[in-house]
A = this chain, B = another copy of it.
Amino acid sequence: MNRRKFAGTIATAGILPQVAAAADPAPRDVTRILARYVVNAKYEDLPAPVRKEATRTLLNWAGCAIGGSRHETLDIAIAALTPFAGPGQATVLGRKEKLNVMHAALMNGISSHIFDYDDTHLRTIIHPGGPVASAILAYAEYKPVSGRDFLNALVLGTEVECRIGNAVYPTHYDIGWHITGTTGVFGAAAAVGKLLGLNEQQMVWAIGLAATQPVGLKEMFGTMTKSFHPGRAAQNGLTSAFLAARNFTSSNQAIEAKEGWANAVSTARNYAEITDNLSKTYEISINTYKPFACGIVIHPTLDACIQLRNENKLTANQIDRVELRVNRLVEILTGKKTPQTGLEGKFSVYHAAAAAIVKGAAGEKQFSDALVRDPEIIALRDRITTIVDPAISAEKVRVTITLKDGRKLEKSIENAIGSTKNPMTDKMLEAKFSDLADGVMPAAQARKVMDLCWGVEKLTGAAEIAKASAA
Contacts and interface: CB of A to CB of B under 8 A. Distances in A.
A328 to B, nearest CB: 9
Contact of A71 (B3, B117, B258): B3
Given A15-B297, A86-B87, A242-B81, A341 B8 contact: no
Contacts of A228: 209, 212, 243, 248
Interface in A174-198: 174-178, 181
Residue of A86, A229, A365 with most chain B CB atoms under a 10 A cut-off: A86
Interface stretch (A147-155, A218-226, A275-283, A448-456): A218-226
Contact of A221 (B13, B222, B293, B368): B13
A8 B254 contact: no
Interface stretch (A16-24, A376-384, A414-422): A16-24
A5 B72 contact: yes
A177 B259 CA distance: 8
Given A3-B439, A19-B332, A72-B4, A223 B246 contact: no
B248 A11 contact: no
Interface stretch (A34-42, A260-268, A311-319, A461-469): A260-268
Interface stretch (A51-59, A342-350, A397-405): A342-350
Interface residues of A, number: 121
19 contacts: A1-B438, A3-B439, A6-B73, A7-B346, A7-B364, A11-B334, A11-B346, A13-B221, A13-B295, A14-B173, A176-B258, A176-B264, A205-B225, A211-B217, A212-B216, A212-B219, A217-B254, A217-B260, A224-B249
Interface in A301-343: 329, 332-334, 341-343
Contacts of A20: 174
Interface string A235-259: 0000100110111111101100111
B225 A251 contact: yes
Nearest to A68: B3
A248 B73 contact: yes
Contacts of A251: 217, 219-220, 223, 225
The interface centre, meaning the residue of A14, A263, A334 with most chain B CB atoms within 10 A of its CB, is: A14
A100 interface: yes
Given A7-B71, A13-B221, 18 more contacts: A2-B368, A5-B343, A7-B364, A15-B295, A17-B125, A87-B87, A208-B220, A209-B228, A211-B217, A212-B215, A213-B232, A219-B260, A224-B249, A225-B248, A225-B249, A225-B250, A225-B251, A228-B248
A21 to B, nearest CB: 7
Interface of A: 1-21, 67-68, 70-73, 76-77, 79-81, 83-84, 86-87, 89, 100-102, 113-117, 125, 142, 170, 173-178, 181, 205, 208-209, 211-229, 232, 239, 242-243, 245-251, 253-254, 257-261, 263-265, 290, 293-297, 329, 332-334, 341-343, 346-347, 364-365, 367-369, 394, 438-439
